[in-house]
Amino acid sequence: MPFRIEPDDAARRIVDGIEAKKPEIHFPRRVSLPFKLLTLFPSPWYFRLCAGMVKPS
């Protein structure tokens, strides 16, 4: 998987974000940024677009 990170790296990013009192912690940013941008759309559009990105189980 191209966006996987090691658990130690993930833990360090979380701890750093908490210590910096960040309201949100994003990693990897290449994955979270598009979802963050989708929140600019009206709610019905947002939910429809996000639903299209998820594989049905």
Query: What is the mean pLDDT of the segment spanning 4-12?
Result: 91
Query: What is the mean pLDDT of the segment spanning 34-55?
Result: 83
Residue ranges per domain, the chain? 7-53
Amino acid at 33: L
- The dihedral over CA atoms of 22, 27, 48, 38, expressed in degrees to the nearest 10, equals 60
Q: Is residue 1 scored above 80 in pLDDT?
A: no
Q: Is residue 47 scored above 90 in pLDDT?
A: no
